[in-house]
Amino acid sequence: AQKVTQAQTEISVVEKEDVTLDCVYETRDTTYYLFWYKQPPSGELVFLIRRNSFDEQNEISGRYSWNFQKSTSSFNFTITASQVVDSAVYFCALSTNGGSQGNLIFGKGTKLSVKP
């Protein structure tokens, strides 16, 4: 079975703190894609990153960084020096059908609140 688990339901931090959102996935496929999306109150899912199962390099994009570890089936997301605008629900998702077709399997999301 394919599954994504985001164990943290809600996280609250003070502005400028670093915060890590955890994601653990399950799949028997050897080829798969992992995603992170941000959902602000407006409802739209905003794409943050996509990684395929053959690329375990960590990635940094501005204040965002991602740690992909196949050995522990984890794809964690860190925001450095958090800002109030980072407040949103963050979803981790898995796809085994390719990066642009087939279905995404989402976790239940982590609600991040960044207080000034």
Binding region for other proteins (CB under 8 A): 4, 35, 37, 42-47, 50, 91, 93, 97-109
- Of 15 and 104, CB closest to other proteins: 104
We find the least distance from the C-beta atom of residue 111 to other proteins, in angstroms, to be 9
Q: Which is nearer to other proteins, 13 or 45 (by Cβ)? A: 45
What is the token pair recorded at 96?
């085994």
Cα 4 to Cα 16, 22, 48, 94, 112: the distances in Å are 28, 10, 17, 7, 18
3-state secondary structure of 86: helix
Q: Which is nearer to other proteins, 51 or 86 (CB)?
A: 51
